[in-house]
Chain A
């Protein structure tokens, strides 16, 4: 199975990189961009009997290593 994991900064954490990207987009003429938040995308292949089991394991991975829950949120999507 293929797990797709998005890790994003929590709303109350400042994202200076996102702000710089927003400014650069504006300077390229994308005037309608208001807010940019940069995150991480992790794709991993996992052997599992069920989607539920794989999702549970990925949540565990996020909590133990992949995300820092003080500053980041995560979401997991499992594909066959």
Chain B
């Protein structure tokens, strides 16, 4: 499997996700600098977390205008799996590959802690092995927003990937860390080959992390 991880100035989860891909998928990812203009052939492109371009203007806005993003969009439109984690999710939204917006957490605080998510649609390349999972979030702008028409559209198309829930899998206001509409933690594009999620599966990918629930997302990609 040929895999790529995009590196922007300010990315800081690029190495972590590369280790997770190496250990779980067994592929050594090519690290692609944001000024490179093409990714010729790929089986998985990951847009990692971090603070690309210092979160100037809006999180992900500057990165979405980077030279490499044209190629990421072309690949995504051809059906190549593209996964954005945290800041990567924000970048995919700003580039138009995913619907909605990620705004400031309702608490106005940066949140860094473990949360629990439940896969909403398990019939995709990213979630076919997913179950209720614990993994960390670390963000200031993870509050998923879309207007009521857009929410209806993504619900009708089964585009919600994950929702924040409690230990029993109940999706409620108490288990919503950041104010996201309908507890949305991750969404797909229409054809389900692009995933964006705020939680960090690569930070819960081996026993030394204290929890390895995040593995199931990478394992799903293998099957």
Contacts and interface: CB of A to CB of B under 8 A. Distances in A.
Interface of A: 12-14, 16-17, 20, 64-66, 68, 70-71
Contacts of B179: 14, 16
Nearest to A10: B147
Contact of B108 (A12, A20, A65, A68): A20
Given A70-B145, A71-B145, A13 B103 contact: yes
Nearest to B61: A65
B100 interface: yes
Interface of B, helix, strand, loop or mixed by DSSP = loop
A13 B61 CA distance: 19
Contacts of B147: 12, 70
B146 A70 contact: yes
Nearest to A19: B108
Contacts of A12: 147
A70 B106 contact: no
B58 interface: yes
A68 B61 contact: yes
Given A13-B145, A20-B108, A70 B100 contact: yes
A68 B101 CA distance: 8
Contacts of A71: 101, 103, 145
B43 to A, nearest CB: 30
Interface string B51-81: 0000001100100010000000000000000
A20 B107 CA distance: 10
B52 to A, nearest CB: 14
B145 A68 contact: no
Interface string B141-153: 0000111001000
Given A20-B108, A70-B146, A71-B145, A65 B57 contact: yes
A23 B57 CA distance: 25
A20 to B, nearest CB: 6
A37 B65 CA distance: 28
Contact of B106 (A14, A64, A66): A14
Given A68-B58, A71-B103, A16 B146 contact: no
Contacts of B94: 68
Contacts of B100: 70
B129 interface: no
A13 B107 CA distance: 15
